[in-house]
Chain A
Amino acid sequence: MIVMRAPDKTMTCAEFQDALPELFESQADLSGHEHLKSCENCAALVRDLQYIASQARLLLPIHDPSPAVWENIQQAIRQGGSSGPAAQAPRK
Chain B
Amino acid sequence: MERFVLMNAGPTQPRPANQHLRRNPPIAGEQEAITKAQNGDGRAFETLYAMHKRRVYSLCLRMLGNVAEAEDLTQEAFLQLYRKIATFRGDSAFSTWLHRLAVNVVLMHLRRKGLPQVSLEETLEPSQDDGPRKDIGARDLTLSGSIDRVTLERAIENLPPGYRLVFVLHDVEGYEHNEIAEMLDCSIGNSKSQLHKARMKLRDLLKTGQRKEQIA
Chain A residues within 8 Å of B, Cβ to Cβ: 12-14, 17-18, 20-22, 24-25, 39-41, 44-45, 47-49, 51-53, 55-66, 68-70, 72-73, 76-77, 81-83, 85-86, 89-91
Q: Which residues of A contact B58 (CB under 8 A)?
A: 60-63
Q: Nearest A residue to B207 by beta-carbon distance? A: A48
- The reply to whether B80 and A59 form a contact with Cβ atoms under 8 Å apart is no
- The reply to whether A68 and B78 form a contact with Cβ atoms under 8 Å apart is no
Q: Nearest B residue to A12 by beta-carbon distance? A: B134
- The reply to whether B59 and A86 form a contact with Cβ atoms under 8 Å apart is no
Overall SS of chain A's interface: helix
Q: Which residues of B contact A77 (CB under 8 A)?
A: 42, 79, 82
Overall SS of chain B's interface: helix
Q: Which residues of A contact B144 (CB under 8 A)?
A: 47-48, 51
Q: Given known contacts A14-B132, A41-B139, A86-B72, what 20 new A-B pairs fall within 8 Å (CB)?
A: A17-B132, A21-B192, A21-B196, A25-B177, A45-B132, A48-B144, A52-B199, A55-B147, A56-B171, A59-B62, A59-B152, A61-B57, A65-B74, A69-B57, A69-B75, A73-B79, A82-B83, A83-B83, A86-B75, A86-B76
Q: Which of B55, B75, B177 contacts A89 (CB 8 A)?
A: B75
Residue pairs across A and B with Cβ atoms less than 8 A apart, 30 shown, are A17-B134, A21-B192, A22-B192, A24-B196, A39-B136, A41-B139, A44-B140, A45-B133, A48-B143, A49-B200, A49-B203, A52-B199, A53-B171, A55-B147, A59-B62, A59-B172, A61-B55, A61-B58, A61-B59, A65-B75, A69-B74, A73-B82, A77-B42, A81-B79, A85-B82, A86-B75, A86-B79, A89-B75, A89-B79, A91-B68
Q: Which residues of A contact B203 (CB under 8 A)?
A: 45, 48-49, 52
Chain B residues within 8 Å of A, Cβ to Cβ: 42, 46, 49, 53-55, 57-59, 61-62, 68, 70-76, 78-80, 82-83, 132-137, 139-140, 142-145, 147, 149, 152-153, 156, 167, 171-172, 174, 177, 192-193, 195-196, 199-200, 202-203, 206
